[in-house]
Structure 1
């Protein structure tokens, strides 16, 4: 005999359905509450903001250091190569007449010579003046040409050809001049001639206000009478401008540019 279960009540099924729906809603609500992050108090918010600020400042500082140590040198190297190339091209195209006197004055920022320090593998144009924006920050070496610090030129029969250059960043042409020792050669090429100097002495540190180091007979150099001298000046210690480092030399040779470079530039 087959038996049948009594049919379920319609109201019972509806109640169970409503109960299931309510349970699902409560479960979804609990899930949403668990996913919502805790906002925290004012101290937490300020800590997060401070952390983000320090991270941003750190990135900015890294970018600035990279710009100073790498990018300024890259820009300076391009300027140095372009300026030296232009000078050599102009001199070769329009050499000075044999009886023409050397040019004694140039416009501020104008390149007029090339400085070589063979021991340090330095080849850098020399421009008139020591303005940072127009000369030094472009990677060039600047000639002290403004009063009251005006100094001599290589062609002068007597005088001190005084130059300034960066030790760090912007091409850093004078970074290693502290490695020069007496007897090392320094050569200056102009449109007319090559002038060879021999390094004689250096001053490791002196205040920036000590302008006596670039006088016609520079104080502290060991020179006691007028002559034909060269002075290189740069900042020290490295990456600061607190003091100045000075290197002096005495001219030992001069030859017309038409005769070719001196042996000091041709030797390996």
Structure 2
């Protein structure tokens, strides 16, 4: 006879069949489909919520094992706070702590963060040298600008003002029919040192420059004027014979003789005075000679090619360009003498 199984006993599993449900399983009779239950990963919102959840000591946020609680933003903020604290304590920005003895206080950390006295001295010296070098460079630049540009501006302005003043004075005398002011007999050649008495034209170069008495650098040449040699004494344009010799700057201070190296035989030079135009023709040049070669302004200049006394003109200036090592010489011989009341000579009419 067979005994009936106990009513509360669970039926035994048969081989090849799945085991029964685990204890506590309650079937959901609403699920009447026959497909497999697919386990899907949590969505972005769920992952973000999990990352923001407080951790329990796990690395990487809210996972077990430790680390900074919170997500990426929280970890970044914590790192920034740590770096700020490190900088306040005299640590490098990277977070590497300055090695201090155990128990070091705030004063020790501040002292360790300060550079040594030697380092401060070296830094101060280097800074001072750098500032001095910058100042010296600026001064040099300003000096170059002053000598190569500003002195020319001032020189041209002075020369034009002096030239206009002379011409206005002569024109007014001619208009009134009055004689020009008489030369001062107490002065050499009738004119005080530095006083303008004539205008020199170089038509080929477009130059008009006042001629003043003497060759003083500050009173005449640096004002943009040409200076008439008085020591040694040279002739005036109206003298019956002699050499009317003048000098002027080739560089800076108006540089009126800047390009007289371009003059060749046959070019014209014109000197205007209160009563007369004197036209000279260039006959010869001397590209280079010593500054001590005074013979170039003799009454009959040596090396000029002139054979005897006559009425000559000599222009002198520095050479080479930008230096005063030597002197450049241009000679000319009087070709025409024309009263000012008769109008300009052909050399100036063709130029204008």
Which interval holds the TM-score relative to the shorter structure? 0.7 to 0.9
Is the CA contact (8 Å cut-off) linking 2:180 and 2:275 kept in structure 1?
no
| 1:108 equivalent among 179, 193, 197 | 193
RMSD: 2.5
- Structure 2 portions without partners, runs of 5+: 1-80, 94-112, 184-188
Is the CA contact (8 Å cut-off) linking 1:235 and 1:242 kept in structure 2?
yes
| 1:236 equivalent among 309, 319, 327 | 319
Structure whose residues are more often strand by fraction: 1
Counterparts of 2:312 and 2:286 in 1: how far apart (Å)? 15
Worse-matched range after superposition: 88-97 or 76-85: 88-97
Is the CA contact (8 Å cut-off) linking 1:102 and 1:192 kept in structure 2?
no
Q: How does 1:8-47 map to 2 (within 5 A)?
A: 28=85, 30-31=87-88, 33=90, 34=92, 40=119, 42-47=121-126
Counterparts of 1:32 and 1:59 in 2: how far apart (Å)? 42
SS of match in other structure, 1:166:
coil
Is the CA contact (8 Å cut-off) linking 2:180 and 2:274 kept in structure 1?
no
- Structure 1 residue 49: Cα displacement: 2.2
- Structure 1 residue 240: Cα displacement: 1.5
**Can you list the C-alpha shifts for 1:141-199, whole angstroms capped at 9, x where unaligned?**
000013xx110011011000000000000000001000000000000000010000001
Higher alpha-carbon Rg: 2
Counterparts of 1:100 and 1:73 in 2: how far apart (Å)? 31
Is the CA contact (8 Å cut-off) linking 1:199 and 1:249 kept in structure 2?
yes
Number of aligned residue pairs: give it. Answer: 243
SS of match in other structure, 1:126:
strand
Q: Equivalent residue for 1:194?
A: 277
**Can you list the C-alpha shifts for 1:104-132, whole angstroms capped at 9, x where unaligned?**
42100000000000000000000000001
- Is structure 2 residue 330 aligned with structure 1 residue 247? yes
After TM superposition, the score normalised by the length of structure 2 is: 0.64
Counterparts of 2:158 and 2:179 in 1: how far apart (Å)? 32
Distance 1:222 1:37, change over 3 A: farther
